[in-house]
Amino acid sequence: MFSIRSQLPISASVSIPAEQSQSISTIPGGRKIETVPEKEGLLVFLGTKSVGEYALNILGQNIPRTMTGKKTYDILFLNETTKNDFDKKKTEFTFPGANRSHLQSSNTGVAVDAGINFTVMEMKSMLPKDLTPGRYDKIYLIGDGSAGLPLLKCGDEFLSPTDIVNRLVEHNLHEVEDIRLTSCHSANITKNNDFSPEEIEKSTKSSSGWLASALFGPKRSLAEHVYAEFESRGISVSVSGYHGTGVFYVPEHGKPTTHLRSTTVPATPEQTVRRSDYRLSLGRTQPTDID
């Protein structure tokens, strides 16, 4: 049985039917009312060469959903190369003896292994041509990053804020309007040492001197860089980043039922928090959901 404990931590920093359908309910009198399915999130991998070592990272975005009985989010790749690479690599994280009862096991390792297995089986890989307009209300950009660095690493590629926005706009993904960067320290200019209000505020302030600021501009978090790029093009969206380092499983916290952030890699249990509680959002839409 594959044990994710040997692979921790991974960067934290999205299966929906291919065709959106309406459900129909009948009320007294025989009248039928059509209801539109609730919109959902979409995972997006912007790399175009390979997923590299990110197969487990991508699966990790859906494991809390599998553990809590929710639908897994779709994962969008921009081309066949990266999609096929992921579809091949994800099979390394399955085991034939898994069944649904294992998700409820009191042995956290067994439950997590089962969660990975069913995530592999249920999450759907997509290409831009497979997207249904209006299905999704938020997108999660997958990759790796560092505090104050205007780059998103996707597989073997380093994407600048311009690259990120170009690829989103090329495939009309900016129309979703709620864009979330799950990479490590995507909301930080400097790394936060803990999650106290004072430390969070400190991590979002530029420490550059006046000369550096005059020559290169103020230092920003990746989320701020991406938001500024959208703003420079007159595109109105919400861009969110997260404080701290992304992890999805800390043994001391039990089963992974929500996304987590920590201050260190490996995770520090006493400094591990729910991701959505430490989200920084920029723009006209202020998300309030737990992700």
pLDDT in tens, 173-190: 999 999 999 999 999 999
* CATH number of the structural domain spanning residue 87: 3.40.50
pLDDT at residue 15, as a whole number: 26
**24 in a structural domain:** no
Place of tokens 């009198």: 29
**28 in a structural domain:** no
Give the residue, 209 or 241, on which the prediction is more confident. Answer: 241
Give the residue, 266 or 115, on which the prediction is more confident. Answer: 115
Tell me the pLDDT band of 41, cut-offs 50, 70 and 90: very high
**45 in a structural domain:** yes
pTM assigned to the model:
0.84
As a whole number of angstroms, the distance between CA 291 and CA 241 comes to 12
pLDDT at residue 29, as a whole number: 53
**Side-chain-facing half-sphere of 255: CA atoms under 13 Å:** 21
Could you tell me if 45 and 75 are in contact, meaning their C-beta atoms sit under 8 angstroms apart? Answer: yes
Domain hosting residue 206, numbered range = 4-17+35-282
As a whole number of angstroms, the distance between CA 196 and CA 57 comes to 27
**116 in a structural domain:** yes
**246 in a structural domain:** yes
**289 in a structural domain:** no
Tell me the pLDDT band of 95, cut-offs 50, 70 and 90: confident
Tell me the pLDDT band of 25, cut-offs 50, 70 and 90: very low
pLDDT at 5 over 60: no
pLDDT at residue 290, as a whole number: 72
pLDDT at 80 over 90: yes
What value, to the nearest 5°, has the Cα angle with vertex 231 and ends 205 and 44?
Answer: 90
pLDDT at residue 285, as a whole number: 61
Averaged pLDDT, 151-169: 98
**189 in a structural domain:** yes
pLDDT at residue 174, as a whole number: 97
**27 in a structural domain:** no
Give the residue, 43 or 2, on which the prediction is more confident. Answer: 43
Averaged pLDDT, 137-164: 97
pLDDT at 19 over 50: no
Share of the chain above pLDDT 70, in %: 82
DSSP states of 55-92 as a string? HHHHHHTTHHHHHTTPPPPEEEESSHHHHHHHHHHGGG
What are the C-alpha distances in Å from 90 to residues 50, 94, 119, 218, 290? 13, 8, 10, 40, 26
Could you tell me if 157 and 49 are in contact, meaning their C-beta atoms sit under 8 angstroms apart? Answer: yes
pLDDT at residue 20, as a whole number: 40
Q: Report the largest interatomic distance among the alpha carbons of the chain, rounded to a whole angstrom.
A: 74
- Domain tally, the chain: 1
pLDDT at residue 248, as a whole number: 82
pLDDT at 129 over 80: yes
What are the C-alpha distances in Å from 149 to residues 9, 62, 146? 21, 26, 6
pLDDT at 14 over 60: no
Instruction: Please give the span between the terminal C-alpha atoms of the chain, in angstroms, as a whole number.
Output: 28
Averaged pLDDT, 7-27: 37
pLDDT at residue 7, as a whole number: 39
Here the tokens at position 32 are 């039928």
As a whole number of angstroms, the distance between CA 178 and CA 198 comes to 27
- The closest of 284, 236, 275 to 253, measured between CA atoms, is 275
Place of tokens 């103020």: 218
pLDDT at 117 over 70: yes
